Amino acid sequence: MNDSGQLSRLYRQVKMMLGVGRVTASSDAGSAQTVQYQTPLEVRGNTPRMAEFGFSSALPVGSDVVIGFLGGDRSSAVIIASNHQAYRHTGLVAGETVIYSQWGQFIKLTEAGIIIEANNQPVTVNNANEVTINATDSVLMKTPILKVTGDIIDHCESNSATLKTLREAYNSHKHPVKNVQGGSATITSELPGSGVK
C-alpha cells in the first residue's frame, strides 16, 4: 500500500472513531453497564458504558450518547458520555455541581450552601451506627410532627436524664401542703391534674 492509501485508511479510521446515538435499552446487571443504542446506520446492543468510579446511573431510554469506536472499528464500541435533553438539570452557575434523577430529585452544591430536593419522596439513611450534625448556629426542623423511637437527652454532654425519665418524674411527683388544718399536720397533694405524655 502506498503512502496515499495509508493516509486514506488512517483518515477513515480517525473519522470513524466517534459517533452519536440514542439509547433504546440498557442493563446494569453485569460487571459493566451495557447499553443498546441506535444511530442512523445501525442498532447495536451489549455496548459497555464507561463511568467514573464511585458514581453510577442508569440511562433512561431516549438518552443521547457519545460512542467511541476503538481503532475506528465500529464493532468495538464503548459509551463515553451521555445526556438526556428532557431531564437535564438546568440553570447552574459557574462552580455549581448537581446530582439529579429523572423524577425531579437532586442534590445541588452551591456557593451559598447545599440543597437537597426530595420532590415529595421519602429520604432514608440506613445502617449508620452514629449520625452527627455539626451546625454552628442551630438546627431547624419544619415539620408537623417529629417522631423518635428511642429516648431523647438534651444537654447530653453534661446530662444523662432522658426526657422520658423527666416526664415520669413530673407525672408522679407530689407536693406537701402545710398547715391547712389546725395543728401541725402535713397534707400531701394529689398528683398533677394533667400529666405530661
9-83 is classed CATH 3.90.1690 = no
Predicted pLDDT at 133:
96
d(CA 47, CA 78): 6
Whether residue 109 has pLDDT greater than 60:
yes
Is a pLDDT exceeding 60 seen at residue 104? yes
The predicted structure's pLDDT at residue 161: 83
Q: Mean pLDDT in the chain?
A: 89
What amino acid occupies position 38?
Answer: Q
Give me the pLDDT at residue 173, please. 76
pLDDT score of 183 more than 60: no
Q: Phi and psi (nearest 5°) for 88?
A: -60, 130
pLDDT of 196 > 80? The answer is no
Closest of 119, 115, 116 to residue 102, by C-alpha? 119
Would you state the cell numbers that stand for residue 89, as one nine-digit string? Answer: 438539570
- Domain assignments of the chain as residue spans, ordered by start: 9-83
**How much is the pLDDT for 18?**
94
Under the banding of pLDDT at 50, 70 and 90, the label for residue 98 is very high
Strands in 64-69's sheet, in edge-to-edge order, are 43-48, 34-38, 18-27, 64-69, 77-83
